[in-house]
Each structure stands twice: as structure tokens, then as C-alpha cells.
Amino acid sequence: MNDQLEKYLLSDHSTRVQTVNVTAAWQQGLQHQQYPECVQRLLGELVAAAVLLTGNLKFQGSLVLQLQGDGPVALMVVECTTSLSIRATATLREDHVIPADGNLQSLLNGNGQGRFIVVLDPDRETAGLQPYQGVVALEGDSVAQVLEDYMRQSEQLDTRLWLAADANNCAGLLLQRLPDTGGITASSTDDERSPDDTWDHVCQLAHTVQYEELLTTTPATLIHRLLWEDSLIAFPAQAVTWHCPCNRDRVADMLRMLGEPEVIDLLATQNHIDIACNFCGKPYHFDKVDCASLFITNPAAVIDGQDSVH
């Protein structure tokens, strides 16, 4: 089943294996956005990566992955909460042409000023933890390479990622070598491989995965294809959903904060105000009657013709 994060552990406890394929949630996120294909692909890969990494957080809160660039794409942001609700957005520079074959470097790092930012943001209820932000140069030819380098430098964990995305879904496979905790040893497993051998074994198998295969194969099927001969410990699957907190009431509150004179000025050139969420692109339409109701204590009075916005 798609829209689920599948998590496994090799029987010697040396290697973590995770895979995800996000379909319905990804399509919901693109519903109000019109990104060029190459931008859509990069953003989807970042979404898949965020889900895979969030699945290992040890606190309640969210993970934010951010790509800042000096090219045609100014910004890409993905947020994934520990309940695996996601939202994502990309900001394009209006004065730049998006090349059809654009990639990570050409879209975001044309002059070498791009940055990759990771933010760990614990909930307020999580005592003793403060938000953490890590910033590194935007090096590597893909989102996967950038993240692998970051994990190796910041977490000292060998991590391999395979990511893919298109207009229908985004998907990913993660392998992570875990520190030796002195627990189960290789001699206690069926195949008696050392942790080094196990890591090399699963990496070789994962390198056979094709881009299109990631997109068209369910997580459970992919794991079975790759590791059907291996003994795995399976964990309960986690559902992935799309969530952007924007709604009409929040937009209305923003217009109230602007103040009635400013809203009247906006209505002077047209009879309505159209606002799109900066994050998900969802449009909100306010006509003159809607705007008038924002600044009166009895909205029903507008129906009787007492419109204060002219």
C-alpha cells in the first residue's frame, strides 16, 4: 500500500531499511501548484527524503529540510511532522528561465551560493529539547547525495538514499548502518555475516533499484524483491498524509490585521481580493461582502445592505 512508511531492521541489528511511496498526499500537495517538471521532481525527492528521515526521530515535533539557492529556484522547503504529515513548497525567481533539464545544481546553485538547511523542531511540550539548525554547502548532484553527505558529517552514520518523483507520486529507499551496541552479534544470526558484510550486501542489492521501479512499486513489494532471502524484523507501517494549516479563517485574520483602510484600498481597483497560501498555493477569494463582514461585529448586517466597504 502506498502513502505508508515501511520500516525494517536486519536480523543482526546492524542495518536499518526503510521505504516509502507517497501518492495521494503528494497529489493533494500539488493540487494548487504549477511547478515545472524538473522542479516538481526535486521537490518530490525532498518530500520522500523528509519522510524517511523523520521516521527515525526520537522526539515529538517536526523535521524541516530546506534548499536555498541563487539560481532559478530561490527556495524549496519540506516539513514533516513525527506523525508523518507533510507539506512542501518551492519559490521560483520570476526573472529566471527554468531549463527543461534542470537539476539540483543548475536550479539552485548556479553561482555556488546554495545552502542545505536541516531544522529539528521539537514540540513545545517536549521538555529539555531546543530547536536545532544545521547548515551545509549545497554539494552533490542530487538531493540524495546532499543528504548522504549531511548525515555522514553531522550524525556520523553511513546512510544511502534512493529517491524518485513525478507528478503522480514520490518515493524513496533508505539504508542506514547502525552503531554497534554490543547486543546481537553476527554469530547469532542465521547467515553469520559480519555487520560489514551485511552492509555491503544490502547496499549491493539496493544499487540495482531503478528510478522508475521506485515510483511504480509499493514499499512492501520493493522490500520483498530486494531482501527476500534475508531475515528482517518488520515494524508497524506508518501512514503519510498531507497537511497545510492554512484555512479561510486564518486568511481572514490576516486581512483584519491589514486593517480596513488597507483592504478598502485593495478593493478600489477590483471588486475582490484573491490570496493564495504561500505554502501550498490554495486560493482564497474574498468579494466586497466578504471583506465588509471582516470589520463588523454583526456579519448578518451585510445581508441587509449595511456594507462598510465601498
- Among the listed ranges 45-54, 143-152, 285-294, which one has the minimum average pLDDT value? 285-294
Grid coordinates representing 201 are 550486501
Distances (CA, A) of 78 to 51, 118, 196, 254, 274: 10, 10, 33, 23, 25
Could you tell me the residue range of the domain that residue 256 belongs to?
A: 248-303
Residue 199: inside a domain, yes or no? yes
Q: Which residues contact 19 (CB under 8 A, 6 or more apart)?
A: 5, 6, 52, 171, 172, 173, 174, 219, 222, 223
> Do residues 219 and 135 share a domain?
yes
pLDDT over 90 at 88, yes or no: yes
Please check whether residue 82 lies inside any domain of the structure.
Answer: yes
| Contact present, 148 and 93 (Cβ < 8 Å) | no
pLDDT at 181: 57
Domain co-membership, 174 together with 158: yes
Domain of 258, CATH number, reads 3.90.1280.10
Tens of pLDDT, residues 162-187: 999 999 999 999 999 998 755 444 44
- What is the chain's alpha carbon radius of gyration, rounded to the nearest angstrom? 23
Residue 310 lies in a domain: no
| 182 and 261 inside one domain | no
- 308: in domain: no
CB 171 within 8 A of CB 22: yes
Q: Are 49 and 73 in contact (CB under 8 A)?
A: no
Residue 309 lies in a domain: no
> Residue 197: which of 72, 41, 14, 62 has the closest Cα?
14
Strands (E), 138-246: 159-165, 170-177, 232-239, 241-242
Count the residues in the chain. Answer: 310
What is the spatial distance between Cα 207 and Cα 201, in angstroms, rounded to a whole number? Answer: 10
What is the percent of the chain where pLDDT is above 90? Answer: 53
Give the chain's domain count.
Answer: 2
Q: What does the alpha-carbon distance between residue 255 and residue 126 come to, in Å, rounded to a whole number?
A: 33
Q: What is the maximal distance between C-alpha atoms in the chain? A: 83
Pairing of strands 272-276, 4-10: unpaired
Residue-wise pLDDT tens digits, 236-277 = 999 999 988 878 888 888 888 888 888 888 888 888 888 888
- Burial readout 240-266 (b: 16 or more C-beta within 10 A, e: otherwise): bebebebeeeebbeebeeeebeebbeb
CATH number at residue 38: 3.55.30.10
Residue 225 and residue 253 in one domain: no
